[in-house]
Chains A and B, each alone.
Chain A
Amino acid sequence: MRKILLHGSLGVAVLLSLFPFYWTVVMATNTTQDVFRNPPKLTIGPHLADNVQKVLQSVDLIAPIVNTVLVAIATTVLVLFFDSLAAFAFAKYDFPGRKVLFGLLLLMFMVPTQLALIPQFVIMAELGWVGTLKALVVPAAANAFGIFWMRQYISSAVPDEMLDAAKLDGAGFFRIYRSVILPVIRPGLAFLGIFTFIAAWNDYVWPLIVLLDPNKVTLQVALSQLNVGLKQDYSVLMAGALIGVLPLVVMFVLFARNFIGDAVKGAVK
């Protein structure tokens, strides 16, 4: 009896958690009239292809998807490389200024992003990067969270003896990074990679500001424009929302196992 109550309550929570997705699918696969009749239709219908076609007719979503994938991949690769390299230096080496530099990083980690937004936009205008994907990737490559998190990871995952052995063999910093550190920190890189990819995929404020040209936006900005343009045709709108959400949810479910554990760990330590 207690078990039934327990799983019943958890089931309700899961239902509330997932219902908006189900309902998005319901709307995206039906016509708007079907969903808005009373009582509303709550089962999946046959009109997905129609609705997707209509979305693509009203807003070009293909280019934004390509832009978003490019930005997310480029950002992820740069963050993984720069952050793991810097984190390795901070975790395993003592050099003059190390504490001050790391302290500065932690301090900026706490400063809210909107403080820097206006000057960032001015800099992009000066560089001629407004409306380009460079404006999204280059600043995002400096990720303080990533260095902080990777430093913790390297400190606990790589024993000092391993480095000492490599040093005795005469290997320098970059050689050790490549042949000792990289293979060991793969699980850490996987988490930071998925985390960075999700953040880049979902980023909205900065792309909204810096990608003025409506033809060169990312997916989130395109979706918000869809919301403005298609306010009445909900089925088509939901087909668009589905396109924006589905790839990430599928990726997440595939990798979720370790990701959630790592995402939660930082808070508990």
Chain B
Amino acid sequence: MTARARALRSAWPQYLAISPFYLLFTVFLLGPTLFSLYLAFHRWDGIGEMQYVGLDQFRFLIEDQTFWLSVRNTLIIWVLSTVPMLLLALVLAALLNSTKRLVGFYRVALFIPNITSVVAVAIVFGALFATNSGLVNITLQGIGLPGVPWLTDPWAIKIVIAMLMTWQWTGYNALIYLAGMQSIPSELYEAAKIDGAGPVRAFFSVTVPMLRPIILFTVVVSTITGMQSFTEPQVLFGNNSAVNANSGGPGQAGLTMVLYFYRTAFGQNDYGYGAAIAWAVFLIVMVFTILNWRLVQRRAD
């Protein structure tokens, strides 16, 4: 028996230990992912024969106005949510870092939105922002401002979805920043103080540069999750029969890329084109993740 065969044989408990995962992984994740690539080059409604169409679906995708609308919507919603989310998180973390009192309570209270289901949050936000009777508009009118048609105006729809995401993720990001801030050596702040830096100056020349890897992490995670938003518009506007189901609301203003994928694949049973959309979404998310990575890294240099 060769040494390699002996090593393989003596490692049987380890292979047995990892085999349930790799079995499920192959059947339900790796296999399907590869199959969806195959599917993207075929026309298929799930019942009839698969028909090879080569690059036709990708060609169609490039000219598909609705797809590009969904890309635009997704990007706008993503910017509208990520920028305030991360800036607010940084401020919150700095505030939390300068006190010891009540920090345990603040941490729990700020984390709770993150564990709440998007479905429930979307329902609550739908009621909060209802045009005629929602609390937000009643409050606005109460202080003499005009109400906003939150759930019908194309821009307001995007803002509501972005606010929903900001509400869910700001606390989570703040706590990540806080953990990062607490691991910055205090000598750095003392040195800055000796050099005559005030708290604001110290924040920008010590805290932010030291947090760089963590900020990079949060930007990447927000890009990946934000670009795949689906549940928020699906629950908010899922029943918009005025246009059609899963349209993302009036004017399709909340139609995100993944919602468009869902509608094509599972609403219209167009599995082949759905797979093509899924791969396009994957590529777009990859490109933006890498772009962000580069951008954040370079800015810090």
Chain A interface (Cβ within 8 Å of chain B)? 3, 6-7, 9-10, 13-14, 16-18, 20-21, 23-24, 27, 36, 38-40, 82-83, 85-86, 88-90, 93, 95-96, 98, 101, 104-105, 108, 111-112, 114-123, 125, 138-139, 141-144, 147, 172-174, 177, 198, 201-202, 204-205, 209, 220, 223-224, 226-228, 231, 234, 237-238, 240-241, 244-245, 248-249, 252-253, 256-257, 260-261, 263-265, 267-268
Give complex CA distance A142, B27 in Å: 10
The segment from B56-64, B70-78, B105-113, B293-301 found at the interface with A is B105-113
Shortest CB-to-CB span from A177 to chain B, Å, is: 8
Q: Could you jot down 21 A-B contacts, CB within 8 Å?
A: A6-B95, A40-B135, A40-B138, A88-B17, A95-B11, A95-B14, A96-B7, A111-B282, A115-B33, A117-B32, A119-B32, A144-B25, A220-B117, A224-B123, A234-B133, A245-B116, A260-B108, A267-B176, A267-B217, A268-B176, A268-B214
Given known A-B contacts A7-B102, A227-B123, A241-B123, A118 and B11 have beta carbons under 8 A apart: no
**Interface presence of B31 (CB below 8 A):** yes
A224 surroundings in chain B (CB, below 8 A)? 119, 123, 234-235, 238
B108 surroundings in chain A (CB, below 8 A)? 253, 256, 260
Query: Count of B residues near A, CB < 8 Å?
Result: 95
Given known A-B contacts A10-B95, A117-B265, A238-B124, A173 and B282 have beta carbons under 8 A apart: no
Decide if A227 touches B109 in the complex (CB within 8 Å): no
Give complex CA distance A82, B119 in Å: 29
Majority-rule SS of A interface residues = helix
Decide if B135 touches A118 in the complex (CB within 8 Å): no
Decide if B179 touches A264 in the complex (CB within 8 Å): yes
Shortest CB-to-CB span from B301 to chain A, Å, is: 21
Decide if A139 touches B95 in the complex (CB within 8 Å): no
Nearest to B13 among chain A residues (CB) is: A173
**Interface presence of B196 (CB below 8 A):** no
Shortest CB-to-CB span from A139 to chain B, Å, is: 4
Decide if B115 touches A249 in the complex (CB within 8 Å): yes
Give complex CA distance A130, B175 in Å: 39
Nearest to A256 among chain B residues (CB) is: B108
Shortest CB-to-CB span from A114 to chain B, Å, is: 5
Give complex CA distance A245, B114 in Å: 12
Counting chain B CB atoms within 10 Å of each CB, the highest count among A93, A104, A201, A263 belongs to A263
Q: Which 7 A-B pairs have the closest CB atoms?
A: A173-B13, A119-B32, A142-B24, A95-B11, A116-B32, A139-B28, A89-B14
Decide if A123 touches B179 in the complex (CB within 8 Å): no
Give complex CA distance A119, B35 in Å: 7
**Interface presence of B80 (CB below 8 A):** no
Out of B25, B95, B130, name the residue touching A108 (CB < 8 Å). B25
Counting chain B CB atoms within 10 Å of each CB, the highest count among A111, A198, A253, A260 belongs to A260
**Interface presence of B249 (CB below 8 A):** no
Decide if B133 touches A17 in the complex (CB within 8 Å): no
Give complex CA distance A98, B118 in Å: 37
A172 surroundings in chain B (CB, below 8 A)? 13
Decide if A268 touches B180 in the complex (CB within 8 Å): yes
A253 surroundings in chain B (CB, below 8 A)? 108, 112
Decide if A205 touches B231 in the complex (CB within 8 Å): yes
A114 surroundings in chain B (CB, below 8 A)? 228, 230, 258, 261-262, 278, 281
**Interface of chain B residues 6 through 37 with chain A (CB within 8 A):** 7-8, 11, 13-15, 17-18, 20-22, 24-25, 27-33, 35-36
Give complex CA distance A231, B31 in Å: 41
Decide if B18 touches A101 in the complex (CB within 8 Å): yes
Decide if A82 touches B21 in the complex (CB within 8 Å): yes
Out of A23, A95, A123, A177, name the residue touching B15 (CB < 8 Å). A95
Give complex CA distance A171, B138 in Å: 69
Decide if B107 touches A139 in the complex (CB within 8 Å): no
Decide if B282 touches A115 in the complex (CB within 8 Å): yes
Give complex CA distance A83, B25 in Å: 12
Give complex CA distance A39, B98 in Å: 39
**Interface of chain B residues 243 through 280 with chain A (CB within 8 A):** 258, 261-262, 265-266, 271, 274-275, 278-279
Give complex CA distance A10, B171 in Å: 11
Decide if A260 touches B107 in the complex (CB within 8 Å): yes
A98 surroundings in chain B (CB, below 8 A)? 14
Decide if B98 touches A118 in the complex (CB within 8 Å): no
**Interface presence of B96 (CB below 8 A):** yes
Decide if B96 touches A10 in the complex (CB within 8 Å): yes
Decide if B28 touches A142 in the complex (CB within 8 Å): yes
Shortest CB-to-CB span from B126 to chain A, Å, is: 7
Decide if B99 touches A174 in the complex (CB within 8 Å): no
**Interface presence of B157 (CB below 8 A):** no
Given known A-B contacts A101-B18, A238-B127, A18 and B112 have beta carbons under 8 A apart: yes
Give complex CA distance A142, B26 in Å: 10
Decide if A96 touches B117 in the complex (CB within 8 Å): no
Decide if B239 touches A231 in the complex (CB within 8 Å): yes
Counting chain A CB atoms within 10 Å of each CB, the highest count among B11, B32, B125 belongs to B32
Shortest CB-to-CB span from A178 to chain B, Å, is: 12
Given known A-B contacts A115-B36, A205-B230, A252 and B115 have beta carbons under 8 A apart: yes
A89 surroundings in chain B (CB, below 8 A)? 13-14, 17-18
